[in-house]
A and B are shown apart, each in its own frame.
Chain A
Amino acid sequence: MRYRSLSTGLAIVALIILGWGSFASAAEDEPYFFPFVNPYAATVMETPQAFQAEAPAQVPVREFSVQPFPQRVIPKVFWDQDHLTCSLVAQKKRAPLVFIIAGTGARYNSPKMLNLQRNLYKAGFHVISISSPTTVDFIVTASSSMMPGNLPADAQDLYRVMQLAWSKVKGDIEVSRFALTGYSLGAIQAAYVAQIDDREMIFDFKKVLLINPPASLHRSVARLDQMLLADVPGGTNRIDQYVRNVMYKLAETRDELGTPQLSSEYLYRASRRFPPREDFLKTLVGLAFRLDSSSMMFAADTMQGGGFVVTKGTRLTSTTSLSAYFSTYFDTGFVDYFHQFFFPYWQQREPNLTEQQLIERLSLKGISNYLKNTPQIGLLHNEDDIILEPGDLDELLAIFGDRAHIYPTGGHCGNMNHPVVMRYITGFLQQEEQQ
């Protein structure tokens, strides 16, 4: 109780003292112009090419794989996933190494990860990229519980993968020190990984930057769950029609822009002619999230031996039809997964745990004592991030104080490739000494 009122008090103080101050300081460093004022447009379309940070198109990337649980029997339906692929972008000389953790459903080579790799390489880092613990290959090969979402457990899995990855490459590169970053879900996981490393001291991270993390996992996924239906009045069974509409809208510009693609660059060019409605964009964000969470739930369900959507003991192979499952997972929100499958699993391992306790634990506030006392951890966020509830940003400001760097626009990770933002990211990770 005392803890609660203390943080509420701090939040109010932070709002008054730090809040506006830090918005102003972000603006003072360098002029920041971002072309999308609407946060959904920013999130979907990201930084248009003309505004992007300049980085080499090709960097020396090497893929390699790790196998944290070599004894694990992989179900036939995941025949193509018996190892976890990571990537290394290496400098030829001695340099700091930064680990980057991908956001929900994203792999080591997703577009945002590639942008980070290129820019961090340009800034003089070795870069090791790790897929999100919510991806199928991570759940199947690298998760100890195979029930993703429990941040401390996910962080343990990530820490194990990072050590294996490091041992695979340490003969080939010279490293001066270690840093860590991640975006979205990968950012909140990075905070938990940093906490583990604070105890184990394997890497002794000199700098850790959290880029657009959720303040609370549950609050953010609940928001994302809701977005899907913004533009689909008939519920999820009308989603076919929505996908058709998306394609039709994009095809209206076909003659000028070529074959419709679901790429942000295409959407940006198309949007200049046909400004899409916010509802439309909201659903697009929700759709992308639901596709990722469906894959995650299927992997977790199957690796647990079934019981959620798949009947226990069902044998699935590479030729089994998964259509009925796909449809069922698609009708299932992340919050349903949390409530019906995820929480009971963790409660079984910790009998006194209540759902509310687990929800509160899976947040940055849950480790705020650690975060407040660890000056090398910084926060980068946007005032209009769509995964934050009203009040979430204040909660984050109360934790990070002057280590929070907030931009007024950019939506959820939409401005990561903006030159000003990218300079902040690389500059923060480069700082040698703690302030």
Chain B
Amino acid sequence: MKRFILLLIVLLLAGCSTVPKVPVNAPSPLRPVPSDGVSLNKISDPFEGANRSVYRFNYYLDKYLLLPLVSGYRFILPDFIEKSVSNALDNIDDIGNLTNALLQLKMNKAGTSASRLAINSSIGVLGLWDPASHLKIRPQKEDFGQTLGHYGVGHGPFLVLPLFGPSNLRDATGLAADGLIFSAIDPLNFDHNELDIPYYALETIDTRKREPFRYYGSGSPFEYELMRLIYTQQRDLKISR
């Protein structure tokens, strides 16, 4: 995590200027950008230059590392094993969902996540199967970013994190906090084994496998703006529920 924050700071400092370089004395275009600035998509983004650099960095990370890993993983493993891996990782995620539902005093959701954990860890054999979903007990995603939002913390400046992608100051803080909570609970006993690196590697590949988003995949020159709008609104929506 320390190294990650360091990398982030370096990238922020390296961020290029974001304002379009308009030549002096150039004639005004036919439909100039209004002087009062942006009317659409008003989301705080003071680090936009750095964010766009990281956005492009993530594209290359995908292209040369993650997506090839995902294809290799899919090629090697039969689909039902991949599905079991996803289930097992989701089962571990339910610990975080439960913790954050409790922190927000959302007792219904906490109850659902607790039942899922109990059913999937026992009948589902350590979460390799997901019988809870068959019983219509659906996952209730809650993370610390949502917990902060629930208690009125605003989203803060928009950020694009290396590897993790679109985020903002609140959700990045939440991501770090969820990591700390996970380490504190230590459900897989990483303090006494060496499985943490394989676990995080597998989790990264599984997450990428399940995420259909592709950087620069939309063909729109405004993909960054659209992604920022949709990310921010989706998070607001999740927090309100």
The 28 sampled A-B contact pairs (Cβ below 8 Å) are A107-B219, A237-B39, A240-B41, A243-B233, A244-B237, A247-B237, A251-B241, A254-B241, A295-B220, A308-B30, A310-B29, A311-B23, A311-B26, A311-B27, A312-B29, A314-B22, A314-B23, A319-B16, A319-B49, A319-B52, A320-B20, A321-B20, A322-B224, A323-B38, A324-B33, A327-B33, A327-B41, A341-B30
Please determine whether A307 and B39 come into contact, CB atoms closer than 8 angstroms.
no
Asked whether any CB of chain B lies closer than 8 Å to the CB of A353, the reply is no
Asked whether any CB of chain A lies closer than 8 Å to the CB of B6, the reply is no
**Contact mask A116-145 → B, CB, 8 Å, 1/0?**
000000000000000000011100000000
Say whether chain A's binding surface is mostly helix, strand, loop, or mixed. helix
**Contact mask A349-364 → B, CB, 8 Å, 1/0?**
0000000000000000
B241 CB to closest chain A CB (Å) equals 7
Instruction: State whether A299 and B221 are in contact (beta carbons under 8 Å apart), knowing that A314-B23, A315-B20 are contacts in the complex.
Output: yes
Interface range on chain B (Cβ under 8 Å from partner)? 35 or more
Q: List chain B residues, Cβ under 8 A from A77.
A: 221
Please determine whether B39 and A136 come into contact, CB atoms closer than 8 angstroms.
no
Q: List chain B residues, Cβ under 8 A from A312.
A: 23, 26-27, 29
Determine the distance from Cα of A107 to Cα of B28 in the docked complex, in whole angstroms.
Answer: 33
Please determine whether B23 and A324 come into contact, CB atoms closer than 8 angstroms.
no
Q: Which A residues between 314 and 354 are near B, CB-CB below 8 angstroms?
A: 314-328, 330-332, 336, 340-341
**Contact mask A283-311 → B, CB, 8 Å, 1/0?**
00000000100110011000000111111
Q: List chain A residues, Cβ under 8 A from B229.
A: 240, 243
Please determine whether A247 and B220 come into contact, CB atoms closer than 8 angstroms.
no
**Contact mask A213-255 → B, CB, 8 Å, 1/0?**
0000000000000000000000011011001100110010011
Q: List chain B residues, Cβ under 8 A from A330.
A: 40
B159 CB to closest chain A CB (Å) equals 15
Please determine whether B29 and A311 come into contact, CB atoms closer than 8 angstroms.
yes
Say whether chain B's binding surface is mostly helix, strand, loop, or mixed. loop
Chain B positions within 8 Å of A, measured between CB atoms, are: 15-23, 26-34, 37-42, 45, 48-49, 52-53, 56, 59, 138, 216, 219-222, 224-226, 229-230, 233-234, 236-237, 241
Q: List chain A residues, Cβ under 8 A from B41.
A: 240, 323, 326-327
Asked whether any CB of chain B lies closer than 8 Å to the CB of A60, the reply is no
Asked whether any CB of chain B lies closer than 8 Å to the CB of A432, the reply is no
Please determine whether A324 and B42 come into contact, CB atoms closer than 8 angstroms.
no
Q: List chain B residues, Cβ under 8 A from A78.
A: 221
Determine the distance from Cα of A310 to Cα of B216 in the docked complex, in whole angstroms.
Answer: 22
A259 CB to closest chain B CB (Å) equals 9
**CB-contact partner of B18 in A136, A240, A251, A321, under 8 A:** A321
Please determine whether B28 and A311 come into contact, CB atoms closer than 8 angstroms.
yes
Given contacts A314-B22, A322-B224, 19 further A-B contacts (CB under 8 A): A137-B219, A244-B237, A248-B237, A251-B237, A295-B221, A309-B29, A309-B32, A311-B23, A313-B23, A319-B15, A319-B49, A320-B52, A321-B49, A322-B222, A327-B33, A327-B38, A327-B41, A330-B40, A331-B40
